[in-house]
Amino acid sequence: MQATCPPLPPTTSTMDWEKFRAEGHRVIDFVADYHRSLKNRELPVSSGVLPGYLKRCISDKTAPQTSSPVFENILDDIQAHIIPGMTHWQHPNFFSWFPAQLSPAALLGDIIASGLNQPGFSWMASPAATELETIVMDWLARAFGIPDAMTWEGTGGGVLQPSASEAAVVALLAAKNRALEMMASDEEKSVASAKLVCYVSDQAHFCVEKAARIVSLWHVRKIKTRREAGGNCPMRGDDLRKAVEADVAAGLIPCMVSMNYGTTGICATDDFRGIASVCQDYSIWLNLDAAYAGATAICPEMRAPLLPAFEKADSLFINGSKWFSMMTNASFFFFRERKYIVASLSATGVYLANKYTDANVVVDFKDYQLGLTRPFRALKVYTTLRYMGLEGIQTTIRRHCALAKYLHDLLRVRLGDDIEFPVEPKFGLVCFRIAEDDAANKRNYALLRAAEEERRVMVVHHVLDDRVIVRVALSYPGLTERDMEDLADYFSEKSREVIANNPLSRDEFVCDPEEALYEKPTAFPDSKRHEKIVTG
């Protein structure tokens, strides 16, 4: 009997690697020209489009059936339709949320990683991807001053998670399982699981609340904070202790406390020593959310406030996507005891068995994350650290912290009694508001709307004690003193215009989604400027 292959369709018409080489140069030029246009402020910082704009530009109902072998045509569509609908996070005038920095070194590393396409879920799946990640995470732990116990040479380690939110899920899942391991039977664990409690500050990011929903932990306590001199709103150890004591008396089981170093709203920092004391007394898992401000620990002169948290935390995360110029998908997650992480997330199949895993002599990163497969994240971390060095990252952080103080002083001088600072400048964040009177909130909403409509500067707001605050988060790595002077001039001019005119209400500040969805999208403001992006 002879095997016969049935008729086959032709092989897929795809780009060959020589054509890829040529098109790759074109794409690199496109990206470099885009960033040049941002540096030169040739584009507005925000898009100006309305919801639903892209469906009007890409009207096809189904995916393309046939190939489009001219990649330049695809780039033209990106230029015409995608760029106009983007918020430009790398723009020098982007001051919203927190930084999402990109560096050429990280981008090149990411291009290489994507080209190598290593799904490094285990050591066997990619020895290089696995071992490089353990190396760079230990580099970072030592650069931050994190204890040796939280390195791969100790009892813990570090893993690159997609974001702080995934890191929070892993931390809470490990905390939950550690709290339940003392129960003798599955029935006892099931009963106890419904009694577990997680504690966060009322200033904390919502990622821990979201993590609690994901791991079915139903009790989340928000500890009310009290403002201190300078505006800090810390979660205090004595307030936490009262909440824990009340829950224990009610038959509940404290599971995890997540403390903060640099909250999103106002960069609040918590009472580390007081919180750690409570966690030690009640055997509670202690997590540190230092997603933004934790990066400052790379600067030795800024590290001291974090050391008490590093010494006591069971887990912590710092985002490489913010001040480290490593783009998104790079959250540094460290833990003191890896056995609790693995016990919570280890799952396998016979097709994954190999002698190295069976001998427990390798790290399999599938056991430290929610999914199975994972990209080669460590390569962009490696290329960034190799090319920029710690000094390059330290320089950006130091400059931003100094420039934030300078902006604060400029605004105080220019606006005098017309401005107030509910929070002193912290790290790279400046918070201010048009001074208090009966219409202050309306005036601050009006200031925000003016910036939104002009699209020269992008900021967002926070609400503290029912007062609207304008947040200015320094983001662009190349910011200068002149940039701060121009920004202070802009806010001074707009603030005085708002004070002189009738302010908007909150209702007028919020977009009407029904109206926006059906209006004709705003056209890109300057097509000639837009064309500069893809020249070269």
First to last CA, the chain: 62
Question: Would you tell me how many other CB atoms lie within 10 Å of the CB of residue 488?
Answer: 22
Instruction: Please state, in angstroms and rounded to a whole number, the distance separating the CA atoms of residues 414 and 497.
Output: 14
The yes-or-no verdict on residue 520 having pLDDT over 80 is: no
**8 A C-beta contact, residue 152 and residue 134:** yes
On the question of pLDDT at 446 being above 90, the answer is no
What is the sign of the dihedral through the CA atoms of 215, 371, 159 and 378? negative
Q: What is the per-residue pLDDT for 184?
A: 65
CA-angle at 508, arms to 416 and 464, nearest 5° = 50
One-letter identity of residue 283: S
Quick one: average pLDDT of 432-442? 80
For residue 530, give the 3-state DSSP assignment. Answer: helix
pLDDT of residue 507: 53
pLDDT, tens digit (0-9, with 9 covering 90-100), for 92-111: 999 989 989 999 999 999 99
Q: What is the mean pLDDT of residues 68-91?
A: 89
Instruction: Provide the whole-model pTM.
Output: 0.89
The arithmetic mean of pLDDT across residues 75-100, rounded, is 91
Model confidence band, residue 48 (pLDDT cutoffs 50, 70, 90): confident
pLDDT above 90 covers a percentage of the chain that reads 65
**DSSP 8-class letter at 80:** I
| 400-406: long-range pairs with CB below 8 Å, 24+ | 400/323, 400/427, 400/428, 400/474, 400/479, 401/296, 401/302, 401/427, 401/428, 403/428, 403/474, 403/479, 403/480, 403/481, 403/483, 403/484, 404/428, 404/429, 404/430, 404/472, 404/474, 406/481, 406/484
Decide: residue 512, CB within 10 A, 0-12 exposed, 13-18 middle, 19+ buried: exposed
The reported pLDDT for the residue numbered 508 is: 54
Residue 136 identity (one-letter amino acid): V
pLDDT for the residue numbered 531: 35
Give the pLDDT band (50/70/90) at residue 510: low
Query: What is the residue-averaged pLDDT of the chain?
Result: 89
Distance from C-alpha of 200 to C-alpha of 222, rounded to nearest angstrom: 5
Query: Does residue 509 carry a pLDDT above 60?
Result: no
pLDDT at residue 511 in the model = 52
Alpha-carbon torsion 262, 265, 268, 270, what sign? negative
Residue with the larger pLDDT of the pair 467 and 525: 467
More confident site: 456 or 506: 456
Q: What pLDDT is recorded for position 516?
A: 38
pLDDT of residue 503: 58
pLDDT of 133 reads 98
pLDDT value of position 505: 54
Question: In the chain, what's the furthest Cα-to-Cα distance?
Answer: 95
Q: For the chain, what are the domain ranges?
A: 118-375
β-strand pairing of 285-289 with 253-260 = parallel
Cα-based distances in Å from 106 to 23, 326, 380, 389, 510: 20, 5, 5, 12, 37
Kind plus residue range of the DSSP H or E element containing 426: strand 419-426
Confidence class of residue 504 from pLDDT cuts 50, 70 and 90?
A: low
Task: Tell the burial category of 523 from Cβ atoms under 10 Å away from its Cβ (0-12, 13-18, 19+).
Answer: exposed
The answer to whether 410 and 488 are in contact (CB under 8 A) is yes
Look at residue 519 in the predicted model and tell me its pLDDT.
35
- Report the C-alpha gap between 462 and 409 in whole angstroms: 21
* 356-384 tens-digit pLDDT: 998 999 999 999 999 999 999 999 999 99
Confidence of residue 523 (pLDDT cuts 50, 70, 90): very low
118-375 has CATH 3.40.50.10150 classification: no
Q: What is the mean pLDDT of residues 142-165?
A: 97
Q: What is the per-residue burial (b if ≥16 Cβ within 10 Å, else e) of 303-318?
A: eeebeebbebbbbbbb
pLDDT tens per residue, range 179-229? 998 776 777 888 888 999 999 999 889 999 999 999 999 999 999 999 888
Burial of 250 (0-12, 13-18, 19+ CB in 10 A): exposed
Phi, psi angle pair for 128, to nearest 5°: -65, -45
State pLDDT tens for residues 372-429.
999 999 999 999 999 999 999 999 999 999 999 999 999 999 988 888 999 999 999 9
Alpha carbon separation from 247 to 203, 225, 250, 313 (Å, rounded): 21, 18, 5, 22
